[in-house]
Amino acid sequence: MTDIFKHHVPGLESPATRLAAVAPDDATDLTMVSRAIAVGTEGFVRVTTTSGSTGRIYVVPGAPFPIRVSRIWASGTTATDIVALA
């Protein structure tokens, strides 16, 4: 397989290159900061952003939500099958 972009420096506007399934947790940060999150079922996702803000966002399947988060909380989260994209 040829990757013609392998020598380009990715920016935040670049497509994600890593995925991580997320188990929401009130006490533990993600292993990597996201550039977006995606869900399998719509609902609220309570997050802490990289700037330290905490709040709930509504996310729908099929449309990754561009947000840099360090934690996805179990309390306040109703969406399921959450994936962090980086």
Dump pLDDT digits (tens) for 36-76: 999 999 999 999 999 999 999 999 999 999 999 999 999 99
Distance, in Å, from the CA atom of 78 to the CA atom of 45, rounded to the nearest integer, reads 6
Query: Mean pLDDT score of the chain, rounded to an integer?
Result: 94
Residues 6+ apart with CB under 8 A from 32: 18, 20, 84, 86
The answer as to whether 44 is a domain residue is: yes
**Residue 59 maps to a domain:** yes
Asked, for residue 1, whether it belongs to a domain, the answer is: no
Domain that holds residue 68: 19-85
Burial 21-49 (b: 16+ CB within 10 A, else e): ebebeeeeebeeebbbbbbeeebebbbbb
| Confidence at 4, pLDDT banded by 50, 70, 90 | confident
Domain count, the chain: 1
Residue 10 forms part of a structural domain: no
